[in-house]
Structure 1
């Protein structure tokens, strides 16, 4: 899928650091704290990822362990970067879809929130130059942002994903070893809570058509499957550093990462976000598909 010219804007480049527009932007952004990154990228340690339980990681030398951790850390930061980048586009789109003055004003403020978050996260990925991505989650996110169905947008992006983001960012902030970045993620929580709460209120005020419901179920089934199969990005980081892994080795790594517990916890959080009265049929349909059941390691590779 070519992201060029799409609303999500994953391929939008950054201007040169000396560009006059950037200077105006910097002056306009709030919270001009010094978000200087540390010299090392490993803001979250092996225990955060459960890598300390993985034998192939334990048996690796210091340089290999560092490289695996660096890939795992960068994956987390890149995901946050792209989520906030999509958030700017999404909130701007919702300004145009607003049906009251107050709703339009709120989404204007939310666009500013996401712009601020994107600016702050960018400091920790100063060399990022990504014009497209094959990551299945980001691809799915892009497709949803492009949707013309406001019901789908509200439920998938604000009720579910913004709700999930609250839990995710809270954990990233709590367990980050670098105080500046820990404080940054914690600072996102108040605005993310407003985004989630607004989406929930608006979704509960509108009737859900059969078509919208079917689309929501299809999108969330895809997303939940990505959670069901466990920490694939960690597995990819190990393989990138250690070289090709056989299927049995991959299964062992996932088992040692405790993939069923890892996925199960996240699936239950996501299930709880779909518990509102207006979403009961959506929740029931996903449960009937087994979408909230984590998969054992041998079914994840």
Structure 2
């Protein structure tokens, strides 16, 4: 079985909408989603404008035809939606796993409720995806996430996923909600925030009650070093979307795009946010090791190509 068919469930297929099980699920979700489908007039190819991706500063984008610009924005927007879909899909499996790892009745109850939150989020995001049978992904961050949720070390799961990544997710979803040009989708991302805040806060509380072993600390450091490297290299997905539409880009063209996107500042802001999420005595040791490795230093544009 492919690893993505386990906890993350990235390769789990969808059943047809006329299947009996699908009807049972739809009925169960009504209390959370309501009966109103997404209005056709609110469906679009692009849910965020050029400014959200920094494309208003990129000459090759501004010099493109309206059709090319629209396609680049469609690809960037689709990338954000698909990423949210897979994150929430992994969240369902992760919270179910934490139900089994719970050490008290109350902790088990909380994670069962959190799993329900993730199911709701997944169902809401799925309404905006024209292709609902998304299977697998080649995205480096999502592959990283799928590998991470397979670990059996609860300390690693709590710190990396709930303290750091859920905290990061709060800022990310807030930004998506603020900049989204679709009022229904913006409202959905806004609605995620309270749930994600509760998930993050629970992770912080449980982690601070733990004694972190040297083995767990070493795993956390290696795992976060890998994740931070993905942040350090800047908005690779935006550059990839431009290349998919415009055709092959030379190293010089990519360098210019990264410079116009001000990638060092872009990454630096995100790295500072991630560092700020790592608080407490145990977290301080982890931060210091990552600092010593230069993991919080954004890369200049020439090293992002």
> TM-score, length-normalised on structure 2?
0.96
Whether contact under 8 Å (2:43, 2:128) holds in the other structure is: no
Measure how far apart 1:3 and its partner are. 3.0
Measure how far apart 1:96 and its partner are. 0.3
Match of 1:272? 276
Q: Kindly provide the CA deviation profile for residues 257-283 of structure 1, in whole angstroms up to 9, marking residues without a partner as x.
A: 111111111111101001222211101
Q: Note the residue ranges of structure 1 that are not aligned, 5 or more in a row.
A: none
Q: Does 1:123 align with 2:127?
A: yes
Measure how far apart 1:146 and its partner are. 0.3
Match of 1:70? 74
Match of 1:223? 227
Q: Kindly provide the CA deviation profile for residues 56-114 of structure 1, in whole angstroms up to 9, marking residues without a partner as x.
A: 00100000000000000000000100000000000000000000000000000000000
Q: Does 1:48 align with 2:52?
A: yes
**Distance across 1 between alignment mates of 2:36 and 2:232:** 38
User: How do 1:12-51 residues align onto structure 2 when only pairs under 5 Å count?
Assistant: 12-29=12-29, 30-32=32-34, 34=36, 36=38, 38-51=42-55
**Distance across 2 between alignment mates of 1:148 and 1:89:** 13
Match of 1:164? 168
Whether contact under 8 Å (1:92, 1:108) holds in the other structure is: yes
- Distance 1:158-1:33 versus aligned 2 partners, 3 A rule: farther
- Distance 1:184-1:59 versus aligned 2 partners, 3 A rule: same
- CA-based RMSD of the aligned residues comes to 1.2
Whether contact under 8 Å (2:48, 2:179) holds in the other structure is: yes
> TM-score, length-normalised on structure 1?
0.97
Q: Note the residue ranges of structure 2 that are not aligned, 5 or more in a row.
A: none
Measure how far apart 1:27 and its partner are. 1.3
Measure how far apart 1:21 and its partner are. 1.1
